[in-house]
Structure 1
Amino acid sequence: MSGSENHITPNRMKPVEGKRVMGKHVIAGAGQVGSQVARLLAEQGHEVVLVSRSGSGPDLPGVGKVAADAADRERMTSLTRGADALYNCVNPPYHRWAQDWPPMAQSLLGAAEAAGAGYVVLGNLYVYAAPERPMREDDPLTPPSAKGAVRLRVWQEALAAHEAGRVRVTEVRGSDYFGPGCLDQSHLGERLVPQMLGGKPVRVIGDPDQPHSWTYVPDVARALVTAAADDRSWGRAWHVPTTEPMTTRQIADRLCALAGVRNPGVKAMPHWMIRAAGLFSPMLGELEELRYQFVRPFVLDSSDFQRTFGVTPTPMDEALSATIAWWRDRLASAA
């Protein structure tokens, strides 16, 4: 069902005397994506409510930071009242997805419905089967992992609410994130960039010579905001505009060239080592069921979003240069 077919009365931003009226936007989750969404919306002049357990996030004019539990439906409904859109950018600990995702997703979906706000979900590619070709939004949803099954349930419940005419829903899916602000949860984060800049060899999970899609976080934020503002987005999932795939080794080569440093080299971490480390690190332990994403080509097709909304991905060199600059500032501050 398309967004124009459901009977929800949307909160529209109506023009007044030829000028666009700014709206209210509520973001659940102040992590690497939620903070960038807040920044982008604030730059556009919107009222932004950024919700996290700790009340954290960037200090920006127009951004109100609120400490609240995303699983508290009554509280989230109160915060979302009068909003044009509610963005689900929460990111519970990897090893607690099965316990934490369902109550948070149900709370946020209920809050959007009660408030009459559009519901924009930050999704991922775990919902698809292990790919044999570039992944498209209309591929069968048959996740090969428990975490993928959790995310599929979140999407199916939201889509069912949309198809019942209770709320406007869309989901925006990206591949592995990188960019400013991406730390331990990014494969191109603190395990790679600062090591490369410091001349230290890097060991990566999986095969460093497999083609892989890497999604730049500012492009994720831009896609979420674009989807929230355009009626064509409702009722289906979309892929974030993402550049052509590159292997991890190619990324490392390009990053070092742009940074003007010697490439210290990239090697695969032995599988037995990852399994052993997983006994002590919940994060690494949870990666075992997702290993298929790093031992074969893992590529997404984002042409639908690009063609429909006229949005293209940030060129890889530009994205890597911004990432290098952010890490250099961070390392200098730490020193």
Structure 2
Amino acid sequence: MKKAIVLGASGGMGYSLVNELTGRGIEVVAFARNEAKLQSLFASNPFVRIQPGDVLDREVVYMASADVDTVFHSVSISYEQWNEKLPRIMRNVMDVAKGRKLVVVDNVYAYGRQDGKRVSEETEKNPHTKKGKLRLALEQELKASEIPYIIAHFPDFYGPHAGNTILHHTLKSVLLNKKSGYVGSLDIPREFIFTPDGAKALVELAMNESAYGQNWNIPGERLVTGNELVDMIRSLTGYDKKVSSVTKRMIRLAGLFNPFMREFLELSYLYEHPFQLDGRKYEREIGALPRTPYEEGLRQTLAFQAAEVN
């Protein structure tokens, strides 16, 4: 890989991907809609060319990708826009990726309800939600193409500049010294991944020719309860206010007034009956997965968010 484009470069995973790639001496086109944010994140990085644009505009993406060999698709949009925009985005990305390699950052929705199982790449995908069915349909469309692809499944993100994530909103209230909330039960173990770990694992895959044409699971450090995370946050910050569980009923009520929360409701199964991604295939074929301990990942995330709040 000599030069890559990262679509969605200003998001949590996109930001970490740009840093991981340029840290290896790879030139990167950082593509996202907000030019000011791209400038604030990457203006001092000599390996980055900043390219503002909307991934829905195929010609803009095509021109930005003219001299790259690998396309990283880490674009994220709000749930209420998925039906209208997600297929268009994926098809634009696939058009641009013809003659190149395509690396897709994906979630776990296509697996459907797994009720506490450890889920491998061979686990049958049987989505029961609209979002899961759409993700699976787009995955199948990509697999039917001739594009060399990697599809990487990740659990929930947290990390530097990983806004609009569950833990981001919890930590934001902590930094503002307000009462905070945590989506789901504080007692149920779940999985999160520190975005720099996810980016490192994904770039390792992208550098490996044999990784293409496959799905890969990239898990977090381990399963962790909300109570464990809150204890770590208190230890790191001295925060002493209450952290409450945000229940399914509360999400449903919020959905009466908020389109995002209305769409988010169908994903509540992931917080009631979570499952764990199995990373043994990666460790067998690629090497050890990066696993930053939650306490250190939270320390770094809090430091980044504190800078943004201030």
**Structure-2-length-normalised TM-score:** 0.90
1:124 paired with 2:107, answer yes
Matches within 5 A, 1:128-147: 128-132=111-115, 133-147=117-131
1:194 paired with 2:181, answer no
1:181 paired with 2:161, answer yes
1:45 paired with 2:25, answer yes
Q: 1:255 aligns with which of 233, 257, 275?
A: 233
Q: Deviation of residue 198 (structure 1)?
A: 5.0
Q: Aligned with 2:144: secondary structure?
A: helix
Q: 1:91 aligns with which of 76, 79, 87?
A: 76
Checking the alignment, whether the CA contact within 8 Å between 1:241 and 1:312 is kept in structure 2 is: no
Q: Aligned with 1:83: secondary structure?
A: coil
**Misfit runs of 4+, over 6 Å:** none
Aligned partners of 1:29, 1:271: CA distance in 2, in Å?
30
Aligned partners of 2:71, 2:224: CA distance in 1, in Å?
33
Q: Deviation of residue 152 (structure 1)?
A: 1.1
Q: Deviation of residue 125 (structure 1)?
A: 0.3
Measured on the aligned residues, the alpha-carbon RMSD in Å equals 1.9
Checking the alignment, whether the CA contact within 8 Å between 2:112 and 2:132 is kept in structure 1 is: no
Aligned partners of 1:303, 1:144: CA distance in 2, in Å?
26
Aligned partners of 1:254, 1:308: CA distance in 2, in Å?
33
Higher-Rg structure is: 1
Aligned partners of 1:202, 1:54: CA distance in 2, in Å?
29
Deviates more, 1:122-131 or 1:303-312: 303-312
Aligned partners of 1:79, 1:270: CA distance in 2, in Å?
43
Aligned partners of 1:312, 1:69: CA distance in 2, in Å?
32
Q: Deviation of residue 241 (structure 1)?
A: 4.0
Q: Aligned with 2:166: secondary structure?
A: coil
Checking the alignment, whether the CA contact within 8 Å between 2:200 and 2:290 is kept in structure 1 is: no
Aligned partners of 2:246, 2:57: CA distance in 1, in Å?
41
Q: Deviation of residue 95 (structure 1)?
A: 0.7
Deviations 1:193-218 (A, max 9, x none): 13334554323332221111101111
Q: Give the corresponding residue for 1:7.
A: none
Unaligned runs of 5+ in 2: none
CA 1:173/1:258 → structure 2, altered by over 3 Å: closer, same or farther? same
CA 1:318/1:306 → structure 2, altered by over 3 Å: closer, same or farther? farther
Checking the alignment, whether the CA contact within 8 Å between 1:126 and 1:151 is kept in structure 2 is: yes
Q: Aligned with 1:41: secondary structure?
A: helix
Checking the alignment, whether the CA contact within 8 Å between 1:211 and 1:299 is kept in structure 2 is: no
- Identity among equivalent positions (%) equals 28
Deviations 1:8-66 (A, max 9, x none): xxxxx5xxxxxxxxx11011112221122112222222221112233342222221111
Q: Aligned with 1:192: secondary structure?
A: helix
Q: 2:252 aligns with which of 265, 271, 275?
A: 275
Aligned partners of 2:33, 2:304: CA distance in 1, in Å?
26
Aligned partners of 1:176, 1:242: CA distance in 2, in Å?
9
Q: Give the corresponding residue for 2:52.
A: 67
Q: Give the corresponding residue for 2:15.
A: 35
Letter in 2 for 1:302: G
Unaligned runs of 5+ in 1: 1-12, 14-22
**Structure-1-length-normalised TM-score:** 0.84
Q: Deviation of residue 137 (structure 1)?
A: 1.5
The structure with more helix, counted as a fraction of residues? 2
